[in-house]
Amino acid sequence: MAVPKKKTSHAKKGKRRSHWNIASPNVSRCSHCGETCRPHRVCSKCGHYGDREVLVIDN
């Protein structure tokens, strides 16, 4: 139900917004180079996904 803006106290607003937090992303290790990377994504360091090389990264 809609509540007028002036009726909502600063405390009430703060308590509602106390759950506005950002969860840290899941991190796993690359099975090829051991670098930390997101799961189910191509490794940005070596270009491997699982045991296959799907990206050629020259550095």
Residues near Zn ion (CB under 5 A), total? 7
Nearest approach, Cβ of residue 27 and Zn ion (Å): 13
The reply on whether position 43 binds Zn ion by CB under 5 A is yes
Q: Which two tokens stand for residue 36?
A: 């930390």
Structure tokens at 53: 């090389």
Distance (Å, whole) CA 46 – CA 51: 11
* Binding of residue 42 to Zn ion (CB under 5 A): no
> Which position among 28, 29, 33, 55 is part of the footprint of Zn ion (CB under 5 A)?
33
Smallest gap from residue 26 Cβ to Zn ion (A): 16
Indicate if the alpha-carbon torsion angle 41, 46, 51, 52 is positive or negative: positive
